[in-house]
Every structure is written in C-alpha cells, then in structure tokens.
Amino acid sequence: MRKLLLRILIASLLLLALLPAAAWFFFPWYAQSLLELAIENKPFRIQVSGVDLPTPSGIGFRSLKAIMTTPPDCCSNEAATYTLSLKNGFISWRLKTPTPYQKKTGGFLPRLVDATFSLKADSLTLIPNSQQFTFSDRNPRITLDIAVSSSKNSTISIKPISASYTINGATVQHEKISLDEISYNVRLSDAAHWQQPLDTLSIEKLSSNGTRLPVYHFKALFASKRDPSKPCTLTLSDCSVELFQWKASTEHIDYDLKNKQSRFIINFAEIPLNKLPGFKLNGNKTPFALGQVSASLPIEFKDSTIFVRNAVIVAGKGTKIISYTKEQKPLLSLDIGIIKGKDELLKNLNATITLNNKNNKFSGLTLRDLSATLLGGKISSTPVSIDQSTKISPFTLILKNIKILDRIHLQGDFKGSLQGEVSGIVPLALTNKSFSIQNARLQSPGGGRVTIAPPSKQQHTSERIFGSEKPDADYTFSEPSFRFNRTIDGYTTINFKLKHLQRKTSGGEMTLLWPQGRLSLFHNRHKPDLVSLSNFTTGFLDGTVALQNIDYDMSRKEGETTLLLNNIPLQKMLDLQGTKKIYATGTVRGKIPVKMKNETFEIQDGGMNAEQSGQIIYATTPEERAAANQGLRTTYEALSNFLYVQLVSSISMAPNGQSVITVNLKGSNPDFQTGRAVELNLNVQQNLLDLMRTLSISSNVEQIISEKSLQLNKK
C-alpha cells in the first residue's frame, strides 16, 4: 500500500511538473481559445494565427486581425467598425518594479506588477467597414504600459497606464488618391484621460493612381481634445503645405464629425507668377511673367463638395505678363499688379466643386457656379466636368466690363494708351496639351491711340509714299469687336470690326470708317509665318475700299493683293491733297493691284474709272489767264466748266516709287466754243510722295497741264 501511495505521489508530482511544459508546448493550438475567453463580451474580436512558442521575453505570430466597433455618440448616429490587420508580428514584454500603491477613490490598491508590452510587425493595415480609406504602415512599433493590482477580496485588476505609437512613413489610400509618408506620434495616457496631446502631423506627398500630385510637405498640429463649445469638431492648427512649389498656410482646419463638414481659409503668400502653370516657359530665359501674387481662399468641404466663397487673389506692385516678338523683343505687357485708384486683380471668387463617384469610386469632378470680380468687372463660367483621365468638358467664360485695356502697355517701337472695358463670351475646350475656341466674341466701347516710332533710318519707298519725312505714325481706333475661333492644332481666325481707324503722320491724315475683315493665323503648317487677311472692307472718303484676300508672309515680308475702290467722291480725293482750285463732282471706282516685298510696294496695271458723268471746274485768276500763252489760256477756258462723260485713269508703280499715271477725260464745256466735244489726255511720270496721289487725276493740275501736251478734238 505504501509503495502504491508513493507511486501515486511521484506520478502526481511528475504530472504537476509536466503541465507547464505541456502548456508551453501546446500553447499555439489553444492561444485563440484563450483570447476568445479573455475578450468575451468585449466590443472587439481578435483572430490570431501562426502563433510561435512563447519565450521568456515574448511571443511571435504570423497574422493578427482585430475587429473593433465604436458605439454611436452625440457626434455620430451610427456605429463604426474597423478591421486592424498585423502581419509577421512579435509581442515582447518587460516587467518593472511597481510603485507601492496606486491612488484610487476610496483608498489605495496594492500594485502587484507593472508591465510594458511592445508590438513589432512587418505591416499594419486599418480599414473601416465603409472602405472609405485604407491606413497602412510598414514596420509599426506600438508600446502599451499596464499595471496589475489586487483588491481586498484578492480580485486581480489590469489597468492600462499609457500607449504610444510612432507613425513613420505610413500611407492612407482613398480610392485612387494616396497620402504618402505620413508621420505622427500617438501618445495616450490614463493621467491625461486618454487624450492625444498636441503633436505634429506631416504628409510628405500625394499621388493619384500612382502619379505624383503637385502637393508636398503638409504639416499641422493636432490634438484629440475638443472645444467644449464645439464637441463634435476636430481641429488642425498651424497648417502648411506646398502646392506646385508654392507655400500655403491656414491657421486652422475644422472638421465637424456630426455634419461631416470641414472649413478653413488657405492662404498663399508671394507666389512668383512665372512659376504658375501656363506662365513658365521651359528652356526659355526670357521672362514671360514678372512679380508675385498672393491669395486667400475660404473653403468649405461637405458631402464630396468643395465650396469656395469670396476668395481673393492679389498681384503685387509691378506684376505683369509680357509678350515678345519673334526676335524676343518686348512687344506689350499687361500690368495686373496693385495700381492706386484701380481695381484689384480678382476678388469675390466663388465656386462649387463636386467630387463625382461611380460605383463608390472617384470618377472625376464638376466645377459649377464659378464667378468673380476681375479687374473691376465680372467673370463667370458655365459648368465644367473633369473625368479621371483629366479630360475637360467644353465650357464658356462670360466677361462683363473687364477693365483691362488701360493696363496694356506697348513696348519697343510702339507707344500709346488704351482705354475702355471688355465684355463678351469665350467658349473653350481644353485638352492635356492644347485648347480650342469656338465662336468667341469680345467687344469694347473704348479705344485708344498707338504710335509706331521705329528708330530713325534712311527712308524706304513705302515711307515716302505715305508722305512722311519722319517714320512716326499715330493710329487711333474706337469700339473694337472681335469674333474668333481656334482649333486644337492652333489654326486661328479672327473677325474684327472697328468704328473708326485713323492714321496720322506729318504728311497728313487718313481715316477709315467701320473697317472690318478676317485674319487667319497658323492655317498652313508648312508656313507658320503666313497671315491671311480676307473680306476686308472699310468706309473711305464716303466710299468704300475692299480687298478679297491677301496672304502675307511675315518671315519673308511679302504678299500681294488687289484694292477695290467703290463710290469714292472725286472732290473728297482732291480735298484730301489740299487742292484749292479744283471743284469736281462724281464718284470713281477702280482696282489697284499691290505687291509688297520687304518695305516696298509695287503696283501693276491699276486703274480707276468714273462711275457716272460729272463736272470739273478749274478756277483761275485774271492774272493767271493774262500770263498764260494762247494754248494754256484755251485749256483754262475749257476746264472752267467741264462736263465730263468719261474719266479713265491707269497707274503703275515700280518698287523704287517711279510711277506712270495716264488720265483720259472726254466731255464738253457749254460756255466754250458752243459746247463742242473735248478730249483731254494726260501722261504723268513721277516718283510718288503720297499714296493718295495714285488714286486721283493729279494734286497739281496746273503743273501737269503746262508740262504735258493737250489735245482738243472735235467729235
């Protein structure tokens, strides 16, 4: 009996010794059951697999999934469920010497042990059931401090003391939008009532569908403690970000958890204008834009919709956009900076941006209700849609009373000033690389003066033709209007119309009324410098001047056309040249072929005819008649009241200005030789000093009559 009892005792002691070893060995098989027993009736579940054999310092696992549910509160009427996944993790623990007691209401509890648990893993993923986003972190490190205490009835109490999680290089994915390289220090403690203290949240970059977006280095301060007056509002403070390498900031970003609404004002300070898209010319050292712009954009975000309200964009003093000639010389500039007594660049900017979703995925955005005050006028737009491939739907800009003309300054050989407001509509279609315009219309009730003053040089024939010893010329115009189109490949047509256009030089003035026509640019890929003017008409001297078409090559400086003259009063042409002794009635019409080469003109076989019969009166004094010889005195008598029935002229001019003009007159004078028929032929060879002399019989009839033969024939 004693031996039996001894064997049973030895077996029992051996069994007691083997139980811990067995428990250690079989732990991976019943670890999940122990977890389920420990977290029974808790608002979360844990699933673990691939558990390693425990060691004195920790235990490893292949995967761990925790499903947590947060209950509804005053800020949210729905419970939220999150799934946390860890891969290839290791949980280590370290025991610490506890403090003797832990203070608690009603007395002190003996502290048995303090322990620190540290979690390391290859990856961490957090996904809400709504799948609105995915948070992922590589190589996460999480630390949890707990205290184990006992009560008077020997009940063991486990209480968390603190938790920390240093986020470094994490990513948040929302559909195709990715927030990359997120850093933040999570530090929670019982002493701070588990409120996250203020710390810096940083996001280094953003991307869309794998493509980097021009958004960098977002930083903000964030703490979980909320304002008691706004218990459902989370606040980010001292926020900053770089957009297209511009620095932007906002004092705070408020997010309303209950209404799912965010508000903030983003400020851009001193952005170089030549860094903005569309103003930076790659590989070109010539500055296309100068100066800086600043902006303040109040933004509200709610239900996938962004509202911009009363935004302001201000350009600094001296900020301008510059256009150049082909030789890279300044042609004109547009001053958009602050000017005393003039309107700001852009204010009262409003827009509604809706983020579109299809099958719970981002599919593009729509811009609506765009309006603003631009340079004292109004600008607005029809709705614009942009899909995932950045394809932009056609839209129309509407301009009203934009005060832009007085901000345009001419450069180089051009001087002058413009005044007035611009209104109209501009239908646009944008692509990734180009844009098109269809039937845009712009007009202004204003006008201006432009002076062309090239450097002094030896005059060419064309300058002498216009009767100016100095090359300076003043052009004034009023009430311009334009209608233009542009194709994706750059072909541009501009239909223009002016109320008046006047050219003034030291040699005289020329005024055109309601000039209008059509310019065509870049319509020939092989000749990009070819400019075409077609369907040009203008009122001139109470008649009209027109041309059907001219193709002018700006690089070769050549072109040719035919001027068509209709219903030009003969007297107006004579008055234009200062003729004092000739009175004439009737109108003329004609065709003047013109060839241009460099800075010279050539006319071949031009001509004009009277459109109907008329009268020519050449007034002479008794002294002139007494001094004239008999032949010239007879001519004076014939022209004292000449009723012509035919007036035909022709003109040719060489590039050097040498011209040949012939004039044939047929008619009679009822006061001369009983009204017998008279035919007058004039043949003039000279170097023209004024273009208008090519359009009339002569500016000095006395000189021609005295130098050329006169033929009087009876019919």
Answer with the residue of higher pLDDT: 177 or 559.
559
Q: What is the DSSP string of 563-578?
A: EEEEEEEHHHHHHHTT
- HSE-up of residue 128 (Cα within 13 Å, Cβ side): 11
Q: Tell me the residue type at 669.
A: N
pLDDT tens column, 509-556: 778 899 999 988 877 777 777 888 889 899 988 889 898 888 887 777
- In this prediction, residue 286 carries a pLDDT of 66
Domain residue limits, the chain: 26-222
| Residue 694 binned pLDDT confidence (cut-offs 50, 70, 90) | very low
Query: CB 108: neighbour CB atoms within 10 A?
Result: 11
Name every residue whose Cβ is closer than 8 Å to that of residue 182 and which is 6 or more positions away in sequence.
167, 169, 170, 171, 172, 201, 202, 203, 204
In 3-state terms the chain splits into helix, strand, coil percentages (rounded to 5) of 10, 60, 30
Answer with the residue of higher pLDDT: 425 or 214.
425
Token pair recorded at residue 597: 């080469």
Average confidence (pLDDT) over 86-110: 66
Answer with the residue of higher pLDDT: 585 or 75.
585
- In this prediction, residue 482 carries a pLDDT of 92
Name every residue whose Cβ is closer than 8 Å to that of residue 2 and which is 6 or more positions away in sequence.
none
Cβ–Cβ under 8 Å, residues 302 and 260: yes
Percent of the chain with pLDDT over 90: 16
Using a cut of 0.75, tell me whether the model's pTM lies above it.
Answer: no
Task: Using the predicted structure, report yes or no on whether residue 342 has a pLDDT greater than 90.
Answer: no
- In this prediction, residue 430 carries a pLDDT of 80
Q: Which of 453, 424, 454 is nearest to 440 (CA)?
A: 424
Task: Using the predicted structure, report yes or no on whether residue 104 has a pLDDT greater than 50.
Answer: no
- In this prediction, residue 377 carries a pLDDT of 93
- In this prediction, residue 678 carries a pLDDT of 82
Q: Give CA 465 to chain center in angstroms.
A: 44
Percent of the chain with pLDDT over 70: 78
Q: Tell me the residue type at 573.
A: M
Average confidence (pLDDT) over 79-88: 88
For residue 503, CA distances in Å to 468, 472, 545 come to: 12, 10, 15
Query: CB 120: neighbour CB atoms within 10 A?
Result: 17
- In this prediction, residue 279 carries a pLDDT of 64
Name every residue whose Cβ is closer than 8 Å to that of residue 243 and which is 6 or more positions away in sequence.
214, 215, 216, 268
- In this prediction, residue 156 carries a pLDDT of 60
- In this prediction, residue 59 carries a pLDDT of 83
Task: Using the predicted structure, report yes or no on whether residue 622 has a pLDDT greater than 50.
Answer: yes
| Residue 691 binned pLDDT confidence (cut-offs 50, 70, 90) | very low
Token pair recorded at residue 435: 């844009």
- In this prediction, residue 598 carries a pLDDT of 74
Query: CB 592: neighbour CB atoms within 10 A?
Result: 22
Average confidence (pLDDT) over 11-28: 49
Average confidence (pLDDT) over 189-209: 87
Task: Using the predicted structure, report yes or no on whether residue 269 has a pLDDT greater than 70.
Answer: yes
Average confidence (pLDDT) over 140-150: 82
Answer with the residue of higher pLDDT: 5 or 220.
220
Answer with the residue of higher pLDDT: 195 or 26.
195
| Residue 464 binned pLDDT confidence (cut-offs 50, 70, 90) | very low
Q: What is the mean pLDDT of the chain?
A: 78
- In this prediction, residue 46 carries a pLDDT of 77
pLDDT tens column, 369-381: 999 999 899 999 9
Residue 93, φ and ψ in degrees, nearest 5: -135, 155
> With the CA atoms of 356, 305, 273 and 251 taken in that order, what torsion angle do they form, in degrees rounded to the nearest 10?
-140
Cβ–Cβ under 8 Å, residues 452 and 468: no
| Residue 125 binned pLDDT confidence (cut-offs 50, 70, 90) | very high
Q: In terms of DSSP H, where are the helices of 564-707?
A: 570-576, 622-627, 630-638, 701-707
| Residue 686 binned pLDDT confidence (cut-offs 50, 70, 90) | low
Q: Which of 337, 603, 308, 307 is nearest to 465 (CA)?
A: 603
- In this prediction, residue 171 carries a pLDDT of 93
Task: Using the predicted structure, report yes or no on whether residue 189 has a pLDDT greater than 80.
Answer: yes
For residue 675, CA distances in Å to 50, 419, 647, 678 come to: 130, 59, 18, 9
> With the CA atoms of 169, 172, 177 and 182 taken in that order, what torsion angle do they form, in degrees rounded to the nearest 10?
-30
- In this prediction, residue 364 carries a pLDDT of 73
- In this prediction, residue 184 carries a pLDDT of 94
Residue with tokens 């033709």: 465
Answer with the residue of higher pLDDT: 682 or 92.
92
- In this prediction, residue 17 carries a pLDDT of 46
Average confidence (pLDDT) over 614-624: 81
Average confidence (pLDDT) over 566-576: 80
Residue 418, SS3 per DSSP: strand
Name every residue whose Cβ is closer than 8 Å to that of residue 258 and which is 6 or more positions away in sequence.
74, 75, 76, 232
pLDDT tens column, 409-459: 887 777 888 888 999 999 988 876 778 889 999 999 998 888 876 555 554
| Residue 580 binned pLDDT confidence (cut-offs 50, 70, 90) | confident
Answer with the residue of higher pLDDT: 684 or 666.
666
Average confidence (pLDDT) over 128-137: 84
- In this prediction, residue 441 carries a pLDDT of 95
